[in-house]
Structure 1
Amino acid sequence: MSLSPIPKVLSTIRAHGVEALLMGGQACVLYGAAEFSRDADFAVLASPENLDRLSAALAELQAEVIAVPPFEFQYLERGHAIHFRCRHPETFGLRVDVMARLRGIDPFPELWSRRTTWELPEGFQVDSLSLPDLVASKKTQRDKDWPMIRRLVEVSYDEGFSSPTPEQVTFWLTALLTPELLDECVRRFPAEAGKVAEFRPAIAAALAGDMNAVRDALAVEQARERELDRQYWEPLKAELEALRHQRVRDA
């Protein structure tokens, strides 16, 4: 994140004491799995005090709500993303999205307790989702998210290969999407893999030495998560459509 509007957004959020966790593409940049992202996405604590701090930070960034829904507690609580566009000269045109609930992810206080804190070259800190939580948040119906999940876990596997912690081994066994790496990881850690195999068919297939079954199981996993995400967003999309129609009628 060199010369870009992102540091201004991150430092402003931090300066106002907002309990916010960077997620999305910018978090992937920090974890070494992406080179560029055009916006900034945050998970936030949906408490009145924290939303007041967030409002102050967004006001400093001259950020205005775009599209629907409006920036209100009730929509954050139901799982909507609120979209903003910055007008501050240092961040002009940058989009900022905030959410308070993520599908299939623990409530914010638990995410906060597991957060990763980064020291940025610009001289301040930023909090992000932990790597496992970031990976979980990327399990959507969008095609672009699945290669990013693969890359995030592969980077973790490469970086921790020589001396992994037990937590890393469990994460790899539950999150690797690359058949060959998953097979390698199972062979390196058979005892741990045996425990994960109880709830991840791809691991059971790798333990059995059936790579075709591994690939099939991974495809089923992805299809299941895509469908769960579609079901989660279906009523929320319907609500957004109703809000758009209401805005047109009130115009």
Structure 2
Amino acid sequence: MMQNFFRTLDLFGVQYMIISGQAAILYGAATFSEDIDLWVAPEKENWEKLMKLLRKFAGRVYKLTPPITLELILKGHGFHFEFPPTKREQLSWFLDVLGILPRLSTFDISWQKAISMKACLGKIKVIGLRALVEIKKTRRLEDYPVISNLVRVEYEKLSTKKISLKDWEWILTNSYNLDDILYYFERHRASREVARFLQRPCLSYCLKFIDSQQKKEKYFKLASKKIALEIEESRHRDRQYWAPILTELRELKENGKLLPQGSTPPDRIL
């Protein structure tokens, strides 16, 4: 059913990208995701095509889904759907859809850098790896090892040729894995040169770790503390982003304005 669903997304002309956990799996940076997340171009006609497709595949509204209006789509709300079991698929599967994402600019810019992949779902559109790294800078601690895995995937792709200084800047800015950073430093002189100009304290301690003979443990601990602080700051920024959206969602719930769980998606977007 999922394969047919994604094939029909293209037939219906829905502009979408797979994001979050499932995208990380497709890049080889994660092994498990409970649901499928889609970024759908935030345009009324595009979302009406999606609603038509959801109804065609017997999709039903799942928990805590607000009214599907263009206003709430553009505010960054998430919309949640469940697909019932079939003869082939004995378990339900879940779809989360957004029109606006944190830390990224417009859909069109990310769409230009998205890639087409062949997977068990068929040929699908997947958000670009570097945009995915930004998406994964969430309040969830478990996302940060995934980010480092994605950075490593990008490094491995780039290392087949000379890595540019700009690419080194991206790699060293986004990895949260000290062992990986030290590996880059030990293998690539250019990475160390770039690190000296980046305003990231953990990199300074990693450079001292490489240069030191007596105080390696000290500098490793200091670098670890700086990375932990960075992660907490990133988690805080994500909580700040979602706070007004969650506040509005609670208000909708208190006023009885959420879509009923199990209801059919609307055919029109207001």
**SS of structure 2 residue aligned to 1:127:** strand
**SS of structure 1 residue aligned to 2:110:** helix
Offset from partner CA, 1:36-77 (integer Å, 9 cap, x none)? 323110111101221122222222222222222122211111
Offset from partner CA, 1:141-190 (integer Å, 9 cap, x none)? 11332232233223443455443543653432222111021122134444
Partners of 1:63 and 1:88 within 8 A in 2: no
Partners of 2:168 and 2:194 within 8 A in 1: no
Q: 2:170 aligns to what?
A: 171
Task: Return the alpha-carbon distance in structure 2 between the equivalents of residues 20 and 249 of structure 1.
Answer: 24
**SS of structure 2 residue aligned to 1:208:** helix
Q: 1:25 aligns to what?
A: 21
User: Which stretch shows the higher mean deviation, 183-192 or 113-122?
Assistant: 183-192
Q: 1:111 aligns to what?
A: 110
Question: Structure 2 stretches of 5 or more lacking a match?
Answer: 210-218, 261-270
Partners of 2:206 and 2:223 within 8 A in 1: yes
Partners of 1:172 and 1:185 within 8 A in 2: no
Q: Rg larger in 1 or in 2? A: 2
| CA RMSD in angstroms, aligned pairs only | 2.7
**SS of structure 2 residue aligned to 1:141:** coil
1:133 partnered with 2:125 = no
Q: 2:43 aligns to what?
A: 47
Match of 2:239 among 207, 212, 230: 230
Counterpart residue identity of residue 144, structure 1: E
Offset from partner CA, 1:93-132 (integer Å, 9 cap, x none)? 211111112111222111111112112366x421111111
1:247 partnered with 2:256 = yes
Offset from partner CA, 1:207-240 (integer Å, 9 cap, x none)? 3334333222211110111000111111111111
Task: Return the alpha-carbon distance in structure 1 between the equivalents of residues 259 and 177 of structure 2.
Answer: 50
Task: Return the alpha-carbon distance in structure 1 between the equivalents of residues 3 and 114 of structure 2.
Answer: 19
Partners of 1:68 and 1:244 within 8 A in 2: no
Task: Return the alpha-carbon distance in structure 2 between the equivalents of residues 52 and 180 of structure 1.
Answer: 47
Task: Return the alpha-carbon distance in structure 2 between the equivalents of residues 206 and 153 of structure 1.
Answer: 17
Task: Return the alpha-carbon distance in structure 2 between the equivalents of residues 59 and 164 of structure 1.
Answer: 49
Match of 1:84 among 60, 68, 81: 81
Structure 1 residue 10 displacement after superposition: 2.2
Q: 1:198 aligns to what?
A: 198
Q: 1:58 aligns to what?
A: 54
Counterpart residue identity of residue 199, structure 1: Q
TM-score when scaled to structure 2? 0.80
Counterpart residue identity of residue 24, structure 1: S
